Amino acid sequence: MTRNGLLEAIHARFATFYFTDDLIVMDVVVHDVRDVFRFSAVRKKGCRPADDFGKMANRLGEAWWDEENRTKRKYMASRKLLDLAERLAISEGLARPRLIRVATVKPESLQYLGMSKAELGSRELTRLIKIAYRRQVKVHHPDAGGEASTFRKLHDAYQDLLRWADNPTFTRRRGFPDKWYYDGASQKWVQPVTTRRAP
């Protein structure tokens, strides 16, 4: 997701990108306007969503440049581009993304113990970690025919998860569970954020 120039040109405050089997959709909220501008395109059979999005962004970029070359005014090019979009009220189009907490656990620690991120929300996390560790020890302990190096990594993962369970830490970021999100302040795209269900 590197199509930032187009979003910068139209002064996007934030945007989302998502797709269905049939459509590519980009919703954009620009500064000082309380509407959502929806750009969509029909997907090409056999194309990846990123490729379809790139083609749509290229067409929109060409429309912006054509108007800018014709009028020699960037604001007119931006206005022309926004006129091509379907205009929706924010309530029916795009809500501001929620602030989501993401656990700072090392993915390899979960992998060694055969645990999922969803389990990190359990009230019995320490017990689950110990159960997962015992299950893996039965397979990977050198006395059971496992390799010593694998067992050391397993034990390190166990210690790492126990430390995290005692003092959980999270990073916070805005995002959606089912859409790419563009933040105009940082001019960066954020991948869809996985959320955990409450225990």
* Range from 88-92, 103-107, 193-197 carrying the lowest mean pLDDT: 193-197
Q: Is the pLDDT of residue 111 over 90?
A: yes
CA atoms within 13 A on the CB side of 62: 6
Q: Is the pLDDT of residue 82 over 70?
A: yes
**pLDDT at residue 174, as a whole number:** 67
**pLDDT at residue 196, as a whole number:** 45
Q: Which residue has the tokens 């959980």?
A: 168
**pLDDT at residue 67, as a whole number:** 94
Q: Is the pLDDT of residue 2 over 60?
A: no
**pLDDT at residue 35, as a whole number:** 87
pLDDT, tens digit, 9 for 90 and up, residues 126-176: 999 999 999 999 999 999 898 999 999 999 999 999 999 998 888 776 667
Which stretch of DSSP H or E encloses residue 71? helix 49-71
Specify whether the CB–CB gap between 105 and 120 falls below 8 A: yes
All residues at 6 or more sequence positions from 102 whose CB lies less than 8 Å from its CB, including other chains: 170, 171, 172, 173, 193
| Structure tokens belonging to residue 178 | 């089912």
Degrees to nearest 5, angle at CA 26 with 25 and 32: 145
Q: Once rounded to an integer, what is the mean pLDDT over residues 120-129?
A: 93
DSSP 82-135: HHTSEEEEHHHH-PPPEEEEEE---HHHHHHHT--GGGGG-TTHHHHHHHHHHH
Q: What's the predicted TM-score (pTM) here? A: 0.60
**pLDDT at residue 194, as a whole number:** 58
Radius of gyration (C-alpha) of the chain in whole angstroms: 23
- Computed over every residue of the chain, the mean pLDDT equals 86
Degrees to nearest 5, angle at CA 186 with 82 and 98: 85
Specify whether the CB–CB gap between 67 and 33 falls below 8 A: no
* Range from 57-66, 91-100, 122-131 carrying the lowest mean pLDDT: 91-100
Q: Once rounded to an integer, what is the mean pLDDT over residues 17-41?
A: 90
Separation of alpha carbons 182 and 174, rounded Å:
10
Q: Which residue has the higher pLDDT, 194 or 20?
A: 20
Q: Is the pLDDT of residue 199 over 90?
A: no
Nearest to 39 by CA among 51, 50, 29: 29
38: β partners: 27, 86
Which CATH code of 1.10.3470, 3.10.50, 1.10.10, 1.10.287 fits the domain covering 105-168? 1.10.287
* Range from 15-19, 22-26, 41-45, 113-117 carrying the lowest mean pLDDT: 15-19
Specify whether the CB–CB gap between 31 and 13 falls below 8 A: yes
Residues of the chain with CATH 1.10.287: 105-168
